[in-house]
Structure 1
Amino acid sequence: MTDDPDLSARHSLTVTERDVDELGERLATWLSARVGAEATVSELSKPSAGGMSSTTILFDATWSVDGVRESGSFVLRMAPEDGSFPIFQAYDLPLQYAVMSGVAAASDVPVPALRWLETDESVFGSPFFVMDRVDGRAPTDNPPYVFFGWLFDATATERALVADGAVDMIARIHAIDDAPQRFPELDGEGSALRRHFDAQRDWYRWALTDDGIEIPLIERGFAWLEANWPTNPGADVLNWGDARPGNILYDGFTPVAVLDWEMAALGPRELDLGWIIFIHRFFQDIATRFDQPGLPDYLRRDDVVATYERLSGHTVANLDFFIIYAAVRHAIVMARVKRRMIHFGEDTVPDDLDDYVMHRASLSALLDGTYEWD
């Protein structure tokens, strides 16, 4: 008998309560109208390693047009239903579709082929889109890849290929020229970084403080960011948003599909760089907390910067600011996730409000300037 946690266990996280069989019936009816022929939908499932925000359904479909049989494997993405206690305040699926279409048209970044966008909410209760399914593997978040799995078992050289491939995808996305003109849906008045920051404050209010949950550590983080605002944030580019290897499908150790564009935004390049560096540190710090080795050689801060500068020709600046900004943003994510788990009876209300933030120790150390980098 042991009290040690099972690090390989997948924790239950309720993302959607939609019935897959019912979705399949509606999907077949909708797809038949779209392709102009009776369509058969099969093999519906929810991905075992899906994210925590949008609803994702995998399915196969077949139909015949003028005697020619067509078939494929597809992915359906839709906003979560209101009763699922969503992570984000808004899920703009048409915007995601537009961004992915724009990236595919303007670059060689591998995004899945988009099939259909449906804005009629009567089908599933929210807009959705369908894209081709791409075969591949991604490092898992739940349970975290720092404990076991194909990336953990890889050699240091192979892990470097995965990390460099992710940074290469970021550099290619940032290289898309005239981003504000190409993606006007993401543009607006004033500074892109200020718009992004204000949106995070609004999301924090909606996710937590409007219900009386004001988290001192997050408030302190916002205050630090205001006090240390970059005097020259840099030019605005398209940022992927949720930039990390977990949102890339790999064939072996080569990227074949870049996924999850719901956090895409205009802003300085360091938005993505701070995010990818911090998100790995988030998982690595979990491993350290459980006295596990984790993957200390993976996505190291200096390595990410060196690789990005070599690939992009851009000198990285203000990185401390953007790493702390990533840590604060992820604190809102984790606090909202904890609220969702409490809502579904999967967790309990903490006595200390800062315990809504899983990485409170790391964020505190970053704000204090005492965080220890490997």
Structure 2
Amino acid sequence: MLAAVHAAPLPTVGVALPNDGESPLRAHIRRLREFYDWAAQGRAGAPLIERAFAWVDENFPKDEPEPVLTWGDARIGNIMYRDFAPVAVLDWEMATVGPRELDIAWMIFIHRFFQDLAELATLEGLPDFLTRDDVTAEYERLTGYAPRDLDFYITYSALVHAVIMFRINCRAIHFGQAAEPADPDDMILHRATVEAMMAGTYWPLDSARGTEEA
């Protein structure tokens, strides 16, 4: 599905586009920052998110690939199937143009997010599903393009999800559905993952468990 989406013509309307003179990836980061600043209005922000934005700036890829149409919320939960074949792709609110790694990394990260939750609940989950090696190898087989800088893009995906989680919890607190935590970083369910990815320790730990290569 990602290969098909990325092969579509570049849109000129209907999705978020970069400003003049702005690269697609820089535009994506800018819009995320603007969304976070809006979500944090009138309250303390999350120090972890601030550190993650700084990490993104410090580790920005040297070369930005040619942009493609990116789905934005590339995950299996947003695909409808009939007889095990995909027939529809849903949830295009985050669609834009940008490096195809945005979608590839998001698909890998979102599975890791739920895998980590499963393991916290002492459940097996699907540790051998949607691994980095499998996803990148299959994508290259289908498209001839070898994804690169995935450490950056997967960590950036973790930041995107952190901002989304922060906004969800801000809203819950506002409507009395959740209590304000003493530590704003506790509003980010996967804070340990973000911290480990920025520290460069997440994938080695995973490799030691035998589910991925560092």
TM-score scaled by structure 2?
Answer: 0.90
Give the aligned length.
202
Structure 1, unaligned runs of 5 or more: 1-168
| 1:198 lines up with 2:198 in the alignment | no
Contact 2:65 2:99 in 1 (8 A): yes
Give matches, 1:215-230, under 5 Å: 215-230=46-61
**% identical equivalent positions:** 50
Tell me which residue corresponds to 1:57.
none
Which of 184, 189, 200 is the aligned partner of 1:358?
A: 189
- Deviation per CA, 1:268-323: give whole Å up to 9, x if none: 00000111111111111111111111111211111111111111110111111110
Deviations 1:229-268 (A, max 9, x none): 1111200000000010110111132111101111001100
Deviation at 1:341, TM superposition (A): 2.0
Paired position in structure 1 for 2:171: 340
Cα distance between partner residues in 1 of 2:163 and 2:78 = 19
Matching residue of 1:328: 159
The structure with more strand, counted as a fraction of residues: 1
- The C-alpha deviation readout for 1:34-58, integer Å capped at 9, x for no partner, is xxxxxxxxxxxxxxxxxxxxxxxxx
Q: CA deviation at 1:339?
A: 1.7
Gaps of 5+ in 2: none
Counterpart residue identity of residue 323, structure 1 = I
Equivalent position to 2:8, from 154, 176, 179: 176
Q: Does 1:367 align with 2:198?
A: yes
Amino acid at match of 2:6: H
Deviates more, 1:341-350 or 1:304-313: 341-350
Q: What corresponds to 2:73 in structure 1?
A: 242
Distance in structure 1 (CA, Å) of the matches to 2:201 and 2:169? 26
> Which structure shows the bigger proportion of residues in helix conformation?
2
Residue aligning to 1:275: 106
CA RMSD of aligned residues (A): 1.2
Q: 2:17 touches 2:27 (CA, 8 Å); kept in 1?
A: no
Matches of 1:369 and 1:253, distance apart in 2 = 37
Q: Name which one, 1 or 2, has greater alpha-carbon Rg.
A: 1
* Structure 2 CA distance for aligned equivalents of residues 337 and 280 of structure 1: 20
Structure 1 CA distance, aligned partners of 2:43 and 2:159? 19
